[in-house]
Amino acid sequence: MSERVTVVEVRDKTLWVGLNRPKTLNAMNFQMINEVIEAFTRLDEDPDIGVGVLYGLNGNFSSGGDMDMMLGLNYQTGHVWNNKMRRLCMTLRNSGKPTIAMVRGWCIGGGNEWQLYCDLCIASENATFGQSGARVGALPVVGATQYLPLLMGDRRAREMLFLAKRYPAQEAKEVGLINEVVPDDELENTTEEWCATINSHAPATLRYMKTNLNFLGDLHYPSWMHGSELLNAVWNNEQSVEGMNAFKEKRPPDFSSFPR
């Protein structure tokens, strides 16, 4: 049995789920997504837990999808991966309890999409947010195209996606992408304070408010289904292979041979 890639614990009625693949800056793979789905299913079902926190260990939230894994996806395995991403999002969004992304360091690509799945996001001043799909030939349609326009506005979302732009934590707060920025040494304490406040509030009211707040975002569900099939067409095509290999080789991608 392979070693776990998440650290899961419950403290003071709060579920803490830490991503733990330090050699890849917490890049996500099949094992990680399965463990995170399992953990947040527990959040929804356990009456003794009132809020969940998703965070990254070793100084980073997540660098996004694991490049070696994504290079190996095909029409069939890509479909499975896309469905798991959607399942994770819906597990977080459909939980009757609030969820918080606690972010330090890199929060890029799929990592940024995972923080979008959470209700709130609090970040260290050293955090960086962004979408790298256009640079590596991937397609950020499992959260980014659905939720970024709702948070940042349509023009800002297109800017982040088309330019593969990165936002330091303070700028991410200013454009509405995240809730709060604190000094790195205050991140855990501030998050714990937020959790304690949430756990002091009426649980039924929290659940009803979350359900109603999700209404507009839930209307984007057909976009998930459509986007997943678009993404399936991207896995292992020539442009994504070039972009991802360039990332691994630490060189600029060369898309010049492809028709514009």
Model confidence pLDDT, tens digit, residues 96-134: 999 999 999 999 999 999 999 999 999 999 999 999 999
Task: Judge contact between 142 and 85, C-beta under 8 A.
Answer: yes
* Token digits of residue 67: 């490049």
For the chain, the domains span: 6-186
How high is the pLDDT of residue 1?
59
Measured torsion, CA atoms of residues 15, 91, 110, 210, in degrees rounded to the nearest 10: -80
How high is the pLDDT of residue 180?
98
Taking the complete model, does pTM exceed 0.75, yes or no? yes
Alpha-carbon torsion (138, 231, 37, 169), positive or negative: positive
Alpha carbon 86 to its chain's center: 11
Q: Which residues contact 201 (CB under 8 A, 6 or more apart)?
A: none
How high is the pLDDT of residue 124?
98
Residue 157 has pLDDT above 80, yes or no: yes
Does an H or E element contain 231, and which? helix 221-234
Task: Judge contact between 217 and 148, C-beta under 8 A.
Answer: no
How high is the pLDDT of residue 72?
95
Q: Which residues contact 74 (CB under 8 A, 6 or more apart)?
A: 235, 236
Angle among Cα 242, 113, 64 to the nearest 5 degrees reads 40
Q: What is the 3 state secondary structure string of the chain?
A: CCCCCEEEEEECCEEEEEECCHHHCCCECHHHHHHHHHHHHHHHHCCCCCEEEEEECCCCCECCECHHHHHCCCHHHHHHHHHHHHHHHHHHHHCCCCEEEEECCEEECHHHHHHHHCCEEEEECCCEEECCHHHHCCCCCCCHHHHHHHHHCHHHHHHHHHCCCEEEHHHHHHCCCCCEEECHHHHHHHHHHHHHHHHCCCHHHHHHHHHHHCHHHHCCHHHHHHHHHHHHHHCCCHHHHHHHHHHHCCCCCCCCCCCC
* Token digits of residue 59: 């100084």
* Token digits of residue 160: 């982040």
Task: Judge contact between 81 and 73, C-beta under 8 A.
Answer: yes
* Residue 35, phi-psi category: left (phi > 0), alpha (psi -120 to 50), beta (remainder): alpha
Indicate the CATH number of 6-186 among 3.30.300.130, 3.90.226.10, 1.20.1260.10, 3.40.50.880.
Answer: 3.90.226.10
Interatomic CA distance for residues 209 and 214, integer angstroms: 9
How high is the pLDDT of residue 75?
87
Model confidence pLDDT, tens digit, residues 196-245: 999 999 999 999 999 999 999 999 999 989 999 999 999 999 999 999 99
